């Protein structure tokens, strides 16, 4: 009798201990996640426990179906009315439900151990009829309409890889100047994923809007709803990440918790930014996450890519232009994809209003998108002055003897362009630049040719100069 009483007392103490540990875990979670927005502690604890459970089960899994099932399972966010010992997981693929049922025992055992209470789990097939998270995706901006060239080949390869294998390269950061196609590529990834896996929930955060939206929800007491809204997707897309500069600490913390919940659970993250990560003053926790993924850059389009973009935009709008008119535009077209789209839209607007697109009207309407006409060879003085202006150095410095990189490079470029676009031979070019013989000019030519082949940043500088001079070389 005494033994039974002691055993019963021990059982009660163990039960009380388990409850206390779980309550303590919740309190710790509340403190850890409190960054100006109150996060529901049970959900955070579940996410942590599930992340650890999934990692351990994936390590021991030998069957590819089991690994695929574990990767696909998503815990449904808890709310104040949810049972504390019953957790529900969603699946998009019906064929994996049988595998999930086989995993119920191991999952329940591990979650029970981590939460210090006996829990049960349930698996449901996600309803595909409602996919509000993906309403932002524009079907017309898919990969088939993203023109490929040297300037975007690597980012395009990365995008295709993500469509085929979400989560393998994570996160993906796409950087590039305004108008180079970041938004199109981000949209295209989501578009292709939805075609292959229609139930996928693609969540978008626009950093221009997120801080104000976050503030509004806090004022309305809807911070939990906001957190659930952004955390329940299968893939996270963040547009204009560079706008993170200047955001309040509370906003940065909330964004990081959303970002990290996707990262820890192996869900794909795609981010666009005008600048690369090294040019953003971000904390080490952000930096470590981005460095573990892939960073690619969209460069400004060269001549060949601009031609493809122009033809694609003409085809998309149904603009009726003769081949001769198109050829004239292509000879002098400059700018990025957004500029080209603006030019085509302007012409389409005029044509749809019944205005005939004569050569004179094309010249007038597209003046800002076209390089100036060049009649005959260029004056070497014009080349010198243009390069000095673009590079921010004095013409006298270029003609001088300084070997500093910021002076020598503009000098080499000026010599290169003078050889190719003025009427001077190499000896005359050497005299103009106050050099003793033409060997210096030959050396400059080789240096510039090598940089044009290997350095995208120099290619961008070269395009700036040639477009200013009216040389449409790309």
pLDDT tens figures, 172-230: 999 988 888 999 999 999 999 998 888 888 989 888 888 777 776 666 666 666 667 77
Contact (CB, 8 A) for 295 and 197: no
Mean pLDDT of the chain: 79
* CATH number of the domain encompassing residue 163: 3.40.50.300
Domain C-terminal end among 270, 298, 326: 298
Residues 334 and 317 reside in one and the same domain: yes
Query: Are 286 and 387 in the same domain?
Result: no
Least confident of 27-31, 191-195, 337-341, 355-359: 27-31
Q: What residues form DSSP beta bridges with 206?
A: 239
Which residue range is the domain that position 347 belongs to? 303-369
Residue 147 and residue 284 share a domain = yes
Given this model, what pLDDT does residue 220 score?
Answer: 62
Give the count of domains, the chain: 4
Percent of the chain with pLDDT over 70: 81
| End position of a domain, from candidates 269, 298, 327 | 298
- Does residue 15 sit in the same domain as residue 119? yes
What residues contact 465, with CB distance under 8 A and at least 6 apart?
Answer: 386, 387, 390, 413, 417
Which pLDDT score, from 0 to 100, does residue 271 have? Answer: 94
| Residue 345 forms part of a structural domain | yes
Query: Is residue 474 a part of any domain in this protein?
Result: no
In this prediction, residue 71 carries a pLDDT of: 83
Highest mean pLDDT among 152-156, 323-327, 361-365: 152-156
Residue 374: inside a domain: no
- Residue 203 falls inside a structural domain: yes
Shared domain for 291 and 319, answered yes or no, is no
Domain for residue 53, yes or no? yes
Six token digits for residue 214: 């976050």
The pLDDT value given to residue 463: 82
pLDDT at 217: 66
Residue 375 lies in a domain: no
CATH number of the domain bearing residue 363: 1.10.8
For residues 219 and 336, which has the higher predicted lDDT (pLDDT)?
336
One domain for residues 282 and 253: yes
CA distance 49 to 174: 32
Rounded percentage of the chain residues whose pLDDT exceeds 90: 12
- Identify whether residues 145 and 265 lie together within a single domain: yes
* Residue of higher predicted confidence among 25 and 414: 414
Higher pLDDT, 316 or 225: 316
pTM: 0.57
> Which of 273, 298, 323 is the endpoint of a domain?
298
Residues 290 and 407 in one domain: no
Same domain? For 165 and 89 the reply is: no
Query: How far apart are alpha carbons 173 and 13 in whole angstroms?
Result: 51
Which CATH number do you get for residue 57? Answer: 3.30.300.180
Decide which of 47 and 441 is more confident. Answer: 441
**Distance (Å, rounded) from C-alpha 2 to C-alpha 4?**
5
Question: Are 282 and 389 part of one and the same domain?
Answer: no
């Amino acid at each position: 009798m005494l033994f039974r009483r002691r055993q019963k007392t021990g059982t009660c103490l163990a039960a009380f201990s388990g409850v206390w540990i779980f309550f303590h875990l919740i309190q710790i979670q509340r403190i850890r996640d409190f960054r100006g927005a109150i996060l529901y502690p049970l959900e955070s604890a579940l996410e942590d426990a599930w992340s650890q459970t999934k990692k351990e089960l994936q390590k021991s899994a030998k069957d590819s179906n089991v690994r695929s099932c574990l990767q696909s399972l998503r815990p449904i966010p808890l709310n104040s009315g949810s049972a504390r010992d019953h957790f529900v997981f969603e699946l998009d693929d019906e064929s994996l439900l049988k595998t999930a049922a086989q995993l119920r025992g191991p999952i329940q055992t591990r979650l029970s151990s981590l939460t210090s209470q006996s829990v049960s789990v349930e698996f449901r097939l996600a309803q595909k009829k409602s996919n509000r998270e993906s309403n932002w995706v524009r079907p017309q901006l898919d990969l088939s309409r993203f023109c490929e060239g040297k300037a975007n080949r690597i980012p395009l390869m990365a995008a295709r890889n993500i469509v085929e294998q979400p989560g393998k390269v994570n996160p993906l950061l796409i950087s590039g100047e305004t108008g180079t196609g970041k938004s199109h590529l981000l949209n295209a990834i989501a578009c292709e994923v939805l075609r292959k896996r229609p139930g996928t929930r693609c969540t978008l955060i626009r950093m221009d809007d997120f801080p104000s939206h976050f503030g509004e929800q806090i004022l309305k007491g809807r911070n939990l709803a906001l957190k659930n809204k952004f955390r329940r997707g299968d893939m996270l897309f963040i547009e204009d990440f560079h706008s993170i500069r200047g955001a309040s600490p509370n906003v940065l913390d909330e964004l990081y918790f959303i970002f990290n919940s996707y990262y820890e659970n192996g869900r794909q993250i795609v981010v666009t930014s005008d600048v690369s990560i090294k040019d953003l003053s971000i904390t080490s926790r952000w930096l470590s996450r981005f460095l573990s993924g892939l960073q690619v850059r969209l460069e400004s389009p060269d001549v060949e890519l601009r031609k493809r973009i122009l033809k694609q935009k003409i085809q998309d709008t149904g603009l009726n232009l003769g081949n001769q008119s198109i050829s004239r535009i292509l000879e002098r077209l400059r700018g990025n994809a957004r500029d080209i789209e603006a030019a085509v839209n302007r012409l389409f607007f005029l044509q749809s209003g019944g205005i005939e697109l004569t050569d004179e009207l094309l010249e007038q309407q597209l003046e800002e998108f076209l390089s100036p006409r060049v009649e005959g060879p260029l004056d070497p003085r014009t080349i010198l002055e243009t390069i000095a202006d673009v590079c921010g150095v004095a013409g006298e410095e270029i003609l001088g003897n300084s070997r500093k990189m910021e002076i020598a490079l503009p000098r080499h470029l000026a010599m290169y362009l003078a050889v190719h676009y003025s009427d001077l031979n190499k000896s005359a070019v050497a005299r103009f630049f106050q050099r003793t013989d033409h060997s210096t000019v030959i050396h400059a030519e080789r240096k510039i040719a090598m940089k044009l082949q290997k350095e995208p940043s120099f290619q961008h500088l070269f395009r700036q100069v040639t477009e200013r001079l009216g040389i449409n070389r790309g």
